[in-house]
Structure 1
Protein backbone atom coordinates (compact mmCIF):
# COMPACT_ATOMS: atom_id res chain seq x y z
CA UNK A 1 0.00 0.00 0.00
CA UNK A 2 1.30 3.44 -0.96
CA UNK A 3 1.92 5.64 2.06
CA UNK A 4 1.01 9.31 2.20
CA UNK A 5 4.30 11.16 2.62
CA UNK A 6 2.77 14.60 2.12
CA UNK A 7 3.29 17.13 4.90
CA UNK A 8 -0.34 18.16 4.45
CA UNK A 9 -1.84 14.68 4.71
CA UNK A 10 -3.29 12.46 7.41
CA UNK A 11 0.08 11.10 8.56
CA UNK A 12 1.28 14.60 9.35
CA UNK A 13 -1.76 15.28 11.50
CA UNK A 14 -1.40 11.90 13.23
CA UNK A 15 2.25 12.64 14.05
CA UNK A 16 1.22 15.83 15.82
CA UNK A 17 -1.68 14.22 17.67
CA UNK A 18 0.36 11.23 18.88
CA UNK A 19 3.34 13.32 20.00
CA UNK A 20 5.78 12.12 17.36
CA UNK A 21 6.26 15.66 16.05
CA UNK A 22 9.09 17.49 17.84
CA UNK A 23 9.28 14.61 20.31
CA UNK A 24 11.90 14.33 23.04
CA UNK A 25 14.03 11.31 22.13
CA UNK A 26 16.86 9.64 24.00
CA UNK A 27 20.11 11.60 24.10
CA UNK A 28 23.47 10.06 24.88
CA UNK A 29 25.04 11.46 28.02
CA UNK A 30 28.04 13.46 26.78
CA UNK A 31 29.83 15.76 29.18
CA UNK A 32 30.08 19.46 28.42
CA UNK A 33 33.87 19.15 28.21
CA UNK A 34 33.72 16.32 25.68
CA UNK A 35 31.02 18.08 23.67
CA UNK A 36 33.10 21.24 23.52
CA UNK A 37 36.09 19.26 22.26
CA UNK A 38 33.96 17.52 19.63
CA UNK A 39 32.55 20.83 18.42
CA UNK A 40 35.93 22.53 18.11
CA UNK A 41 36.26 24.08 14.66
CA UNK A 42 38.93 25.81 12.61
CA UNK A 43 38.80 27.92 9.46
CA UNK A 44 42.09 26.56 8.09
CA UNK A 45 41.08 23.11 6.80
CA UNK A 46 37.80 24.39 5.35
CA UNK A 47 39.54 27.29 3.58
CA UNK A 48 42.13 24.90 2.17
CA UNK A 49 39.55 22.40 0.92
CA UNK A 50 37.32 25.13 -0.52
CA UNK A 51 40.27 26.65 -2.38
CA UNK A 52 41.23 23.23 -3.75
CA UNK A 53 37.66 22.53 -4.91
CA UNK A 54 37.04 25.82 -6.68
CA UNK A 55 40.62 25.92 -7.96
CA UNK A 56 40.21 22.52 -9.60
CA UNK A 57 36.86 23.52 -11.06
CA UNK A 58 38.39 26.63 -12.61
CA UNK A 59 41.28 24.60 -14.03
CA UNK A 60 38.96 21.97 -15.52
CA UNK A 61 36.69 24.67 -16.98
CA UNK A 62 39.62 26.53 -18.54
CA UNK A 63 40.96 23.30 -20.05
CA UNK A 64 37.50 22.37 -21.34
CA UNK A 65 37.04 25.76 -22.97
CA UNK A 66 40.53 25.71 -24.47
CA UNK A 67 39.99 22.27 -26.02
CA UNK A 68 36.40 22.86 -27.14
CA UNK A 69 34.91 21.54 -29.45
CA UNK A 70 37.48 18.74 -29.57
CA UNK A 71 36.59 15.45 -27.90
CA UNK A 72 39.66 15.99 -25.74
CA UNK A 73 37.59 18.52 -23.80
CA UNK A 74 35.10 15.88 -22.60
CA UNK A 75 37.18 14.46 -19.70
CA UNK A 76 37.66 17.95 -18.33
CA UNK A 77 33.95 18.77 -18.56
CA UNK A 78 33.15 15.43 -16.92
CA UNK A 79 35.53 16.16 -14.05
CA UNK A 80 34.09 19.67 -13.73
CA UNK A 81 30.55 18.30 -13.65
CA UNK A 82 31.36 15.68 -11.02
CA UNK A 83 32.88 18.29 -8.72
CA UNK A 84 30.05 20.74 -9.39
CA UNK A 85 27.27 18.27 -8.70
CA UNK A 86 28.75 16.19 -5.88
CA UNK A 87 31.10 18.32 -3.80
CA UNK A 88 28.57 21.15 -3.63
CA UNK A 89 26.08 19.00 -1.73
CA UNK A 90 28.43 18.23 1.16
CA UNK A 91 29.41 21.90 1.46
CA UNK A 92 25.75 22.90 1.36
CA UNK A 93 25.06 20.51 4.24
CA UNK A 94 28.00 21.28 6.52
CA UNK A 95 27.96 25.04 5.96
CA UNK A 96 24.21 25.02 6.48
CA UNK A 97 24.86 23.51 9.90
CA UNK A 98 27.67 26.00 10.48
CA UNK A 99 30.20 23.23 11.09
CA UNK A 100 32.64 23.65 8.19
CA UNK A 101 34.18 26.97 9.23
CA UNK A 102 34.66 28.50 12.63
CA UNK A 103 33.76 31.94 11.28
CA UNK A 104 29.98 32.23 10.74
CA UNK A 105 30.08 34.48 7.67
CA UNK A 106 32.37 32.03 5.87
CA UNK A 107 29.80 29.28 6.43
CA UNK A 108 27.09 31.58 5.09
CA UNK A 109 29.04 32.51 1.95
CA UNK A 110 29.86 28.93 0.97
CA UNK A 111 26.35 27.82 1.93
CA UNK A 112 24.79 30.33 -0.46
CA UNK A 113 27.24 29.49 -3.25
CA UNK A 114 26.57 25.77 -2.82
CA UNK A 115 22.82 26.36 -2.70
CA UNK A 116 23.06 28.26 -5.98
CA UNK A 117 25.03 25.44 -7.57
CA UNK A 118 22.57 22.81 -6.32
CA UNK A 119 19.53 24.95 -7.34
CA UNK A 120 18.26 25.00 -3.77
CA UNK A 121 16.72 28.09 -2.26
CA UNK A 122 18.98 28.77 0.74
CA UNK A 123 16.13 29.99 2.93
CA UNK A 124 13.54 27.28 2.35
CA UNK A 125 16.18 24.59 2.58
CA UNK A 126 17.59 25.89 5.86
CA UNK A 127 14.15 25.54 7.43
CA UNK A 128 13.47 22.27 5.63
CA UNK A 129 16.67 20.80 7.02
CA UNK A 130 15.87 22.04 10.51
CA UNK A 131 12.53 20.21 10.30
CA UNK A 132 14.33 17.14 8.95
CA UNK A 133 16.52 16.97 12.05
CA UNK A 134 13.62 17.72 14.38
CA UNK A 135 11.31 15.04 12.94
CA UNK A 136 13.75 12.71 11.21
CA UNK A 137 11.93 10.08 9.16
CA UNK A 138 8.57 10.88 10.73
CA UNK A 139 6.15 10.31 7.85
CA UNK A 140 4.12 13.42 7.19
CA UNK A 141 6.61 15.65 9.00
CA UNK A 142 10.06 15.11 7.47
CA UNK A 143 10.26 17.02 4.15
CA UNK A 144 13.55 15.38 3.17
CA UNK A 145 12.62 11.70 3.13
CA UNK A 146 14.59 10.01 0.37
CA UNK A 147 13.63 6.35 0.45
CA UNK A 148 9.90 5.74 0.53
CA UNK A 149 7.88 2.53 0.68
CA UNK A 150 7.28 0.83 -1.59
CA UNK A 151 10.59 1.93 -3.13
CA UNK A 152 10.37 3.61 -6.53
CA UNK A 153 13.38 1.81 -7.97
CA UNK A 154 13.23 3.49 -11.38
CA UNK A 155 13.15 6.94 -9.79
CA UNK A 156 16.05 6.00 -7.51
CA UNK A 157 18.18 4.98 -10.49
CA UNK A 158 17.25 8.10 -12.45
CA UNK A 159 17.98 10.33 -9.49
CA UNK A 160 21.41 8.75 -9.13
CA UNK A 161 22.26 11.19 -11.91
CA UNK A 162 20.39 13.99 -10.15
CA UNK A 163 17.76 14.36 -12.87
CA UNK A 164 14.73 14.36 -10.57
CA UNK A 165 16.38 16.65 -8.03
CA UNK A 166 17.38 19.03 -10.82
CA UNK A 167 13.85 19.14 -12.23
CA UNK A 168 12.30 19.65 -8.81
CA UNK A 169 14.86 22.31 -7.96
CA UNK A 170 14.16 24.30 -11.12
CA UNK A 171 10.39 23.95 -10.69
CA UNK A 172 10.51 25.08 -7.07
CA UNK A 173 12.88 27.98 -7.86
CA UNK A 174 10.55 29.22 -10.62
CA UNK A 175 7.60 28.93 -8.23
CA UNK A 176 9.42 31.07 -5.69
CA UNK A 177 10.38 33.59 -8.36
CA UNK A 178 6.69 33.92 -9.24
CA UNK A 179 6.07 35.09 -5.69
CA UNK A 180 4.72 31.88 -4.19
CA UNK A 181 5.82 29.17 -1.79
CA UNK A 182 4.81 25.54 -2.15
CA UNK A 183 1.93 24.68 0.23
CA UNK A 184 4.15 22.19 2.08
CA UNK A 185 6.85 24.82 2.59
CA UNK A 186 4.38 26.98 4.49
CA UNK A 187 4.36 24.24 7.14
CA UNK A 188 7.93 24.96 8.20
CA UNK A 189 9.06 28.26 6.64
CA UNK A 190 8.07 31.24 8.85
CA UNK A 191 6.02 33.95 7.15
CA UNK A 192 8.79 36.43 7.96
CA UNK A 193 11.16 34.48 5.69
CA UNK A 194 8.86 34.45 2.65
CA UNK A 195 10.19 37.73 1.22
CA UNK A 196 13.77 36.44 1.42
CA UNK A 197 12.75 33.23 -0.35
CA UNK A 198 11.13 35.13 -3.22
CA UNK A 199 13.85 37.79 -3.45
CA UNK A 200 16.75 35.35 -3.76
CA UNK A 201 14.81 33.16 -6.21
CA UNK A 202 14.21 36.08 -8.56
CA UNK A 203 17.87 37.08 -8.52
CA UNK A 204 19.03 33.53 -9.12
CA UNK A 205 16.54 32.87 -11.92
CA UNK A 206 17.84 35.98 -13.68
CA UNK A 207 21.42 34.72 -13.32
CA UNK A 208 20.48 31.24 -14.57
CA UNK A 209 18.58 32.74 -17.52
CA UNK A 210 21.43 35.11 -18.40
CA UNK A 211 23.90 32.22 -18.29
CA UNK A 212 21.75 30.10 -20.62
CA UNK A 213 21.25 33.03 -22.99
CA UNK A 214 24.99 33.72 -23.09
CA UNK A 215 25.69 30.05 -23.81
CA UNK A 216 23.25 30.11 -26.73
CA UNK A 217 24.73 33.31 -28.14
CA UNK A 218 28.30 32.03 -27.91
CA UNK A 219 27.30 28.64 -29.31
Structure 2
Protein backbone atom coordinates (compact mmCIF):
# COMPACT_ATOMS: atom_id res chain seq x y z
CA UNK A 1 0.00 0.00 0.00
CA UNK A 2 1.41 3.40 -0.95
CA UNK A 3 1.84 6.16 1.60
CA UNK A 4 -0.94 8.23 0.02
CA UNK A 5 -3.35 5.25 -0.01
CA UNK A 6 -2.52 4.46 3.63
CA UNK A 7 -3.12 8.08 4.61
CA UNK A 8 -6.48 8.15 2.82
CA UNK A 9 -7.53 4.88 4.50
CA UNK A 10 -6.50 6.25 7.91
CA UNK A 11 -8.47 9.45 7.36
CA UNK A 12 -11.61 7.51 6.42
CA UNK A 13 -11.25 5.21 9.41
CA UNK A 14 -10.67 8.11 11.77
CA UNK A 15 -13.66 9.96 10.32
CA UNK A 16 -15.86 6.89 10.69
CA UNK A 17 -14.83 6.40 14.31
CA UNK A 18 -15.22 10.09 15.12
CA UNK A 19 -18.79 10.06 13.77
CA UNK A 20 -19.97 7.27 16.05
CA UNK A 21 -20.25 9.35 19.22
CA UNK A 22 -22.28 12.23 17.73
CA UNK A 23 -24.36 9.69 15.82
CA UNK A 24 -25.26 7.88 19.05
CA UNK A 25 -25.98 11.18 20.79
CA UNK A 26 -28.28 12.40 18.01
CA UNK A 27 -30.10 9.07 17.58
CA UNK A 28 -30.81 9.09 21.32
CA UNK A 29 -32.69 12.39 20.93
CA UNK A 30 -35.41 10.58 18.97
CA UNK A 31 -35.85 8.30 21.96
CA UNK A 32 -35.93 11.24 24.40
CA UNK A 33 -38.72 13.15 22.74
CA UNK A 34 -40.70 9.94 22.34
CA UNK A 35 -40.57 9.54 26.13
CA UNK A 36 -41.65 13.13 26.77
CA UNK A 37 -44.55 13.04 24.32
CA UNK A 38 -46.03 9.86 25.72
CA UNK A 39 -45.77 10.80 29.37
CA UNK A 40 -48.48 13.39 28.75
CA UNK A 41 -51.31 10.85 28.77
CA UNK A 42 -50.04 9.57 32.12
CA UNK A 43 -49.90 13.14 33.45
CA UNK A 44 -53.49 13.82 32.40
CA UNK A 45 -54.65 10.81 34.41
CA UNK A 46 -52.51 11.74 37.40
CA UNK A 47 -53.38 15.43 37.48
CA UNK A 48 -57.07 14.72 37.03
CA UNK A 49 -56.93 12.70 40.23
CA UNK A 50 -54.47 14.84 42.20
CA UNK A 51 -56.09 18.20 41.41
CA UNK A 52 -59.67 16.92 41.00
CA UNK A 53 -59.90 18.28 37.46
CA UNK A 54 -62.63 18.08 34.86
CA UNK A 55 -61.89 16.56 31.45
CA UNK A 56 -61.62 20.06 30.01
CA UNK A 57 -59.16 21.27 32.66
CA UNK A 58 -56.98 18.17 32.42
CA UNK A 59 -56.84 18.66 28.65
CA UNK A 60 -54.71 21.74 29.22
CA UNK A 61 -51.76 19.36 29.63
CA UNK A 62 -51.76 18.69 25.88
CA UNK A 63 -52.63 22.30 25.05
CA UNK A 64 -49.68 23.72 27.03
CA UNK A 65 -47.36 21.09 25.61
CA UNK A 66 -48.17 21.51 21.94
CA UNK A 67 -48.33 25.29 22.23
CA UNK A 68 -44.62 25.05 23.06
CA UNK A 69 -44.06 23.40 19.68
CA UNK A 70 -46.16 26.04 17.95
CA UNK A 71 -44.41 28.97 19.63
CA UNK A 72 -40.83 27.78 19.26
CA UNK A 73 -40.73 25.90 15.95
CA UNK A 74 -39.85 28.97 13.86
CA UNK A 75 -37.35 30.42 16.40
CA UNK A 76 -35.73 26.96 16.48
CA UNK A 77 -35.37 26.94 12.69
CA UNK A 78 -33.91 30.47 12.75
CA UNK A 79 -31.43 29.52 15.48
CA UNK A 80 -30.43 26.38 13.58
CA UNK A 81 -29.86 28.34 10.37
CA UNK A 82 -27.82 31.02 12.12
CA UNK A 83 -25.81 29.02 14.65
CA UNK A 84 -25.85 25.48 13.25
CA UNK A 85 -27.28 22.12 14.23
CA UNK A 86 -25.13 21.59 17.30
CA UNK A 87 -26.10 24.83 19.04
CA UNK A 88 -29.79 24.20 18.30
CA UNK A 89 -29.54 20.70 19.79
CA UNK A 90 -27.84 22.00 22.94
CA UNK A 91 -30.44 24.75 23.37
CA UNK A 92 -33.17 22.15 22.96
CA UNK A 93 -31.64 19.85 25.57
CA UNK A 94 -31.17 22.70 28.05
CA UNK A 95 -34.81 23.76 27.67
CA UNK A 96 -35.96 20.15 27.96
CA UNK A 97 -33.90 19.67 31.13
CA UNK A 98 -35.08 22.98 32.58
CA UNK A 99 -38.72 22.11 31.99
CA UNK A 100 -38.32 18.69 33.59
CA UNK A 101 -36.55 20.30 36.58
CA UNK A 102 -39.48 22.70 37.05
CA UNK A 103 -41.67 19.74 38.00
CA UNK A 104 -40.00 19.72 41.43
CA UNK A 105 -40.95 23.29 42.51
CA UNK A 106 -44.36 22.78 40.87
CA UNK A 107 -44.91 19.72 43.05
CA UNK A 108 -43.80 21.59 46.17
CA UNK A 109 -46.14 24.47 45.37
CA UNK A 110 -48.96 22.05 44.48
CA UNK A 111 -49.95 24.32 41.57
CA UNK A 112 -51.40 22.90 38.38
CA UNK A 113 -50.50 26.03 36.40
CA UNK A 114 -46.82 25.59 37.30
CA UNK A 115 -46.88 22.10 35.80
CA UNK A 116 -48.39 23.54 32.62
CA UNK A 117 -45.56 26.06 32.45
CA UNK A 118 -43.02 23.26 32.90
CA UNK A 119 -44.63 21.30 30.06
CA UNK A 120 -44.50 24.36 27.82
CA UNK A 121 -40.75 24.70 28.49
CA UNK A 122 -40.18 20.99 27.78
CA UNK A 123 -42.03 21.23 24.48
CA UNK A 124 -40.06 24.37 23.58
CA UNK A 125 -36.91 22.32 23.96
CA UNK A 126 -38.36 19.48 21.90
CA UNK A 127 -39.19 21.95 19.12
CA UNK A 128 -35.47 22.74 18.90
CA UNK A 129 -34.53 19.06 19.01
CA UNK A 130 -36.97 17.89 16.36
CA UNK A 131 -36.18 20.81 14.07
CA UNK A 132 -32.44 20.15 14.18
CA UNK A 133 -32.04 16.40 14.76
CA UNK A 134 -33.77 15.25 11.57
CA UNK A 135 -31.63 17.26 9.10
CA UNK A 136 -28.54 16.69 11.26
CA UNK A 137 -28.81 12.89 11.08
CA UNK A 138 -29.15 13.22 7.29
CA UNK A 139 -25.99 15.36 7.11
CA UNK A 140 -23.91 13.00 9.27
CA UNK A 141 -22.38 10.71 6.68
CA UNK A 142 -22.73 9.49 3.13
CA UNK A 143 -25.74 11.09 1.36
CA UNK A 144 -26.50 7.72 -0.24
CA UNK A 145 -27.20 6.15 3.17
CA UNK A 146 -28.99 9.20 4.65
CA UNK A 147 -32.43 7.62 4.31
CA UNK A 148 -31.31 4.51 6.20
CA UNK A 149 -29.79 6.62 9.00
CA UNK A 150 -32.99 8.61 9.33
CA UNK A 151 -35.20 5.50 9.40
CA UNK A 152 -32.90 3.91 11.97
CA UNK A 153 -33.00 7.03 14.17
CA UNK A 154 -36.79 7.31 13.91
CA UNK A 155 -37.19 3.72 15.09
CA UNK A 156 -35.90 4.91 18.47
CA UNK A 157 -38.82 7.31 18.68
CA UNK A 158 -41.15 4.30 18.85
CA UNK A 159 -38.97 2.81 21.56
CA UNK A 160 -39.25 6.09 23.47
CA UNK A 161 -43.03 5.99 23.07
CA UNK A 162 -43.20 2.58 24.73
CA UNK A 163 -40.69 3.59 27.41
CA UNK A 164 -42.65 6.73 28.29
CA UNK A 165 -45.77 4.68 28.97
CA UNK A 166 -43.80 2.17 31.07
CA UNK A 167 -42.03 4.90 33.06
CA UNK A 168 -45.33 6.62 33.78
CA UNK A 169 -47.10 3.44 34.74
CA UNK A 170 -44.32 2.19 37.03
CA UNK A 171 -43.11 5.42 38.64
CA UNK A 172 -45.94 7.97 38.45
CA UNK A 173 -49.29 6.19 38.63
CA UNK A 174 -49.80 4.95 42.19
CA UNK A 175 -52.73 2.68 41.41
CA UNK A 176 -54.55 4.13 44.43
CA UNK A 177 -58.07 5.17 43.51
CA UNK A 178 -60.69 6.54 45.91
CA UNK A 179 -64.33 6.93 45.05
CA UNK A 180 -66.01 10.29 45.75
CA UNK A 181 -67.73 8.70 48.76
CA UNK A 182 -64.43 7.42 50.15
CA UNK A 183 -62.85 10.85 49.73
CA UNK A 184 -65.83 12.48 51.42
CA UNK A 185 -65.39 10.20 54.44
CA UNK A 186 -61.74 11.20 54.82
CA UNK A 187 -60.70 13.96 57.16
CA UNK A 188 -59.34 17.16 55.66
CA UNK A 189 -55.83 16.14 56.70
CA UNK A 190 -56.15 12.72 55.05
CA UNK A 191 -57.46 14.18 51.78
CA UNK A 192 -54.70 16.76 51.69
CA UNK A 193 -52.08 14.09 52.32
CA UNK A 194 -53.52 11.94 49.53
CA UNK A 195 -53.58 14.76 46.99
CA UNK A 196 -50.07 15.87 47.98
CA UNK A 197 -48.61 12.40 47.55
CA UNK A 198 -50.25 12.06 44.13
CA UNK A 199 -48.87 15.41 42.98
CA UNK A 200 -45.36 14.72 44.27
CA UNK A 201 -45.28 11.34 42.51
CA UNK A 202 -44.48 13.09 39.24
CA UNK A 203 -41.47 15.03 40.57
CA UNK A 204 -39.01 12.13 40.99
CA UNK A 205 -39.26 10.69 37.45
CA UNK A 206 -39.00 14.13 35.87
CA UNK A 207 -35.95 15.03 37.97
CA UNK A 208 -34.32 11.81 36.76
CA UNK A 209 -35.18 12.76 33.18
CA UNK A 210 -33.71 16.25 33.75
CA UNK A 211 -30.44 14.74 35.02
CA UNK A 212 -30.12 12.52 31.94
CA UNK A 213 -30.97 15.37 29.56
CA UNK A 214 -28.50 17.80 31.14
CA UNK A 215 -25.79 15.12 30.95
CA UNK A 216 -26.61 14.63 27.26
CA UNK A 217 -26.32 18.39 26.68
CA UNK A 218 -22.87 18.29 28.28
CA UNK A 219 -21.86 15.27 26.18
Tell whether the structures are fold-level matches, with TM greater than 0.5. Answer: no
Task: Kindly name which structure, 1 or 2, has the bigger radius of gyration based on alpha carbons.
Answer: 2
| Structure whose residues are more often helix by fraction | 2
TM-score (norm 2): 0.31
Which structure has more relative contact order (CA 8 Å, sep 6+)? It is 2
